[in-house]
Amino acid sequence: MKKISFCLLSILGILLTLSSCHKVGAVTYPTSINYGENLLKMSGSLVKGESYSVEATLGKNASLKIVITNLSDQDPDLTIPRPRWLTAYEKGWKADDYSYSTLNQSYQTLFQGTSDMKMVFQGSPGKCRIDFYENSGNITNTKTYSW
C-alpha cells in the first residue's frame, strides 16, 4: 500500500512539474530611461523627432509581438513621403520589413528578459496604431498615437 501511494504521489508530482513548465509568463512594460518614454506603457500624443523606447520585460515562457500600422494620410500629390517611424539599437527585437501594401511593420521579442529599442517618428501630421499580441495569436491590447 505504501509503495502504491508513493508511486501515485511521484506521478502526481511529475505531472505538476511538467504542467508548470508550460505556464505562460507575464509581460510588463517598465518606465524606460534608455531612449525616452516607453511607447508601450505611455498614452497620449507623440512629439515628432523625439525618441522613445519600445521596452518590454518577459517572464518565463512569455512572448510578445507588436504590429504597428501606419494610419497617416498620404500627401495628395505624393511629393512628401507618408509620415512613419524609424528604429535603432534593437536589443531583443526582430523587426520585419515595413510593408508598403499593408502599411504596417511587425516586431517580435527574441527572448525572455528585457527587450528594448529606440523609435523615432517623422513627418507630420502622423498617426499609428500599435496592436499587442501578448502570449497569444490574437490582439490583446491596442494603442493609437498621433504626432
Residue-range domain boundaries for the chain: 24-146
Q: Where on the phi/psi map is residue 33: left (φ > 0), alpha (ψ -120 to 50), or beta?
A: alpha
Burial code (b: 16+ CB inside 10 Å, e: under 16) for 61-90 equals ebbbbbbbbbebeeeeeeeeeebbbebeeb
Q: pLDDT-derived band of residue 1, with 50, 70 and 90 as boundaries?
A: low
Average pLDDT across the chain, whole number: 86
Among the CATH numbers 1.10.10, 1.10.730, 3.40.1350, 2.60.40, which is that of 24-146?
A: 2.60.40
> What was the pLDDT predicted at 102?
96
Query: Residue 47: is its pLDDT beyond 60?
Result: yes
* pLDDT tier, 19 (very low <50, low <70, confident <90, very high otherwise): very low
